[in-house]
Structure 1
Amino acid sequence: MSREELLELIRSHFGKIVGILLGLIISLFIIFLGFIKTLFICLCTFLGYYIGYKFDSGTLNDFSDFIYRLIGKLNKRS
């Protein structure tokens, strides 16, 4: 198998490969750290991704804007 064929195989099945690797990593975390700690790590990772996505898309101008929005939403719930 040539390098080009291997790269095409990876490109055509990229989602499956990422899913398998993600499943493997999460299962190892659950085995070694436990379910609750793994859930916390996944939650923090998703939160970091979400905040980074908002900054990259231009929705948030700076970090203080994000904090003020978050505090405002928390105050409205109370």
Structure 2
Amino acid sequence: MAQQDLDPYIDTIEFGPVEFRAIEWLEIPAVARLSRPSNVPDREIPQNLAQLEARLASCGLFPIQRSDESLRIVGYSR
């Protein structure tokens, strides 16, 4: 997909449409924690950050910062 084909907005439930260039960064944790009701412990789901990083790097659109705990995709730098 060419960059000019990308929609410049993302629709969010809480804030409505937001321009992509207004998003400073997006952080994906190595382990996603999904809360559950009735005092049931959170469900922990490991995420394959290496695979995600490789796919994002192949696009080459955004800088990527990696740590042991997360992968940060930098969308807009001030």
Q: Same fold (TM over 0.5)?
A: no
Q: TM-score category by the smaller chain?
A: under 0.3
Greater percentage in helix: 1
Greater percentage in strand: 2
Structure index of larger Rg:
1
- The TM-score with structure 1 as length reference comes to 0.23
Higher RCO (CA 8 Å, separation ≥ 6 residues): 2
- The TM-score with structure 2 as length reference comes to 0.23
